[in-house]
Chain A
């Protein structure tokens, strides 16, 4: 994989920020988009745009084919048993809310347990808090090791016969930890619970095979994996989707509508109320084509190598605190530079043309666990190079000097 060559596929990266060539290291927040994705969406709007599933006219058929074709692509991408198991939505947050609102609320009762971790993104925490409040179920947390990882012994000890749902991020958006999802799913199933996976940070970086992992639900976002914002998908095993209720009602998702009652379409369409995100799905399909043409395994290797390189180079800086495991981490590094507040770090880096994220990363409970109010995070993608990391390190050294640490 040639990151430098791939970089030229991303028009936005070819610019100067504050007089320096842009180094974009905020990929865990959102990735940039390659020309092929932008072109696919433009082409859709210029030639095929129409509403789907109802037009008798030619454009209506083309739009429907494009939309349903993208669903087939996502199904193949995740190795789902069929495209019926793929629901298009706005992204990971919506996907997890669909499961918490449409499945958990229907099937959980008082005394049941939902098991997650303290390192979850707010999107994989708050929907479960709400479902627990609504059903009387209890929310439980698998304890974290010092580096933010989990042990299977702790999973075994936390997941009980009363646990109905286990929900975990495949990759932590702060610690970069890659959790053993397949093994955790095995434990969940042994106790009769279903396994939900927040795939926001895994799908951009690695091959995910939902059948091999044997997970029950898997939610991810398009915009973090070269696709447009506003589109994502939820995978659910067919039998479970049949037991899940829609959380949005209206046009598109209905079968027969009477004055006082209505019936729904079959899965997955009953979960897609309103005119769907058609151009977004087309863009996501193009993003999947792009990632597969590069190779997911190559992308994974590249991210881990950059992360390892960054971990090593950042460790050279005195007074830096790096969070998360030293090994088995995905393409991101979260840190704090002495007493300099991460917002000040991010502002200084911005003047050097380097974009990083500073803040709580939608993980307030994890920040409390780390005993910090905020952190800085550099996250990598397929177009980043060791040179980008070197520029980050140089700028951090300058930041230290500037604040006279």
Chain B
């Protein structure tokens, strides 16, 4: 099952079983609810953005190990980053999913998701949280954003 080990690395399973930043907060500046209608994965991402910096990020949701671990890593990675830096990370993550050689020096756990690129059907699982991040930055201060995504 080496192919599987590549997909489900220990660090991914750790984020899946012990998600970081899971839950809700009261001082959010934007909440994004994203669904993936084709598979039923669901994420609700809260961001607290102040002075152009992601002060805090929390998420709740339902989905597979890939989507939930990706949300855990993403929220951890963007905390304390400026919105520009956060969006740059999102761009880098897209490159990773396309199989390009990129490394996340900022948050090395994310490198573990590189194996997902070899499972085309699962890429949308990994990108759900990052798409929520993009929407959140875009709609900061607008309260709740609800959307279905076909990625």
In the bound complex, how far is the Cα of B38 from the Cα of A359, in angstroms?
8
In contact, B64 and A343 (Cβ under 8 angstroms): yes
Residues of B contacting A367 in the complex (Cβ-Cβ under 8 angstroms) = 40
In the bound complex, how far is the Cα of B52 from the Cα of A323, in angstroms?
49
In contact, B4 and A373 (Cβ under 8 angstroms): no
| A344 CB–B CB distance under 8 Å | yes
In contact, B64 and A402 (Cβ under 8 angstroms): no
| A343-B125, A359-B39 known; A373+B62 contact, CB < 8 A | yes
Chain B contacts with A in 5-51, Cβ cutoff 8 A: 7-8, 13, 38-42
Q: Specify which of A347, A351, A373, A398 is in contact with B40 (CB 8 Å cutoff).
A: A373
In contact, A398 and B1 (Cβ under 8 angstroms): yes
Interface size range of chain A in the complex: 10 to 19
In contact, A341 and B65 (Cβ under 8 angstroms): yes
| B142 CB–A CB distance under 8 Å | no
In contact, B63 and A347 (Cβ under 8 angstroms): no
Interface size range of chain B in the complex: 20 to 34
Main secondary structure of the interface of B (DSSP, over half): mixed
In the bound complex, how far is the Cα of B116 from the Cα of A347, in angstroms?
11
Residues of B contacting A374 in the complex (Cβ-Cβ under 8 angstroms) = 39-40
| B3 CB–A CB distance under 8 Å | yes
Residues of A contacting B125 in the complex (Cβ-Cβ under 8 angstroms) = 343
* Per-residue B-contact encoding for A362-380, CB less than 8 Å = 1, 0 else: 0010010000011000000
Residues of B contacting A348 in the complex (Cβ-Cβ under 8 angstroms) = 1, 4
In the bound complex, how far is the Cα of B42 from the Cα of A351, in angstroms?
25
| A360 CB–B CB distance under 8 Å | yes
Residues of A contacting B38 in the complex (Cβ-Cβ under 8 angstroms) = 359
**Separation in Å of the B35 CB from the closest CB of chain A?**
10
**Separation in Å of the B148 CB from the closest CB of chain A?**
12
Q: Specify which of A340, A343, A351, A373 is in contact with B3 (CB 8 Å cutoff).
A: A351
| A341-B63, A398-B1 known; A347+B119 contact, CB < 8 A | yes
In contact, A18 and B40 (Cβ under 8 angstroms): no
In contact, A347 and B7 (Cβ under 8 angstroms): yes
In contact, B8 and A359 (Cβ under 8 angstroms): no
In the bound complex, how far is the Cα of B67 from the Cα of A341, in angstroms?
10
| B81 CB–A CB distance under 8 Å | no
| A343-B39, A347-B119, A347-B122 known; A18+B3 contact, CB < 8 A | yes
Could you jot down 21 A-B contacts, CB within 8 Å?
Answer: A341-B64, A343-B41, A343-B63, A344-B8, A344-B64, A344-B66, A347-B4, A347-B7, A347-B121, A351-B4, A359-B39, A359-B40, A360-B40, A364-B40, A367-B40, A373-B62, A374-B39, A398-B1, A402-B1, A402-B4, A403-B65
Measuring CB to CB, which residues of chain B are less than 8 angstroms from any residue of chain A?
Answer: 1, 3-4, 7-8, 13, 38-42, 62-66, 119, 121-122, 125
Measuring CB to CB, which residues of chain A are less than 8 angstroms from any residue of chain B?
Answer: 18, 340-344, 347-348, 351, 358-360, 364, 367, 373-374, 398, 402-403
- A-B residue pairs, 7 tightest by C-beta: A341-B64, A343-B64, A374-B40, A373-B62, A360-B40, A373-B40, A344-B64
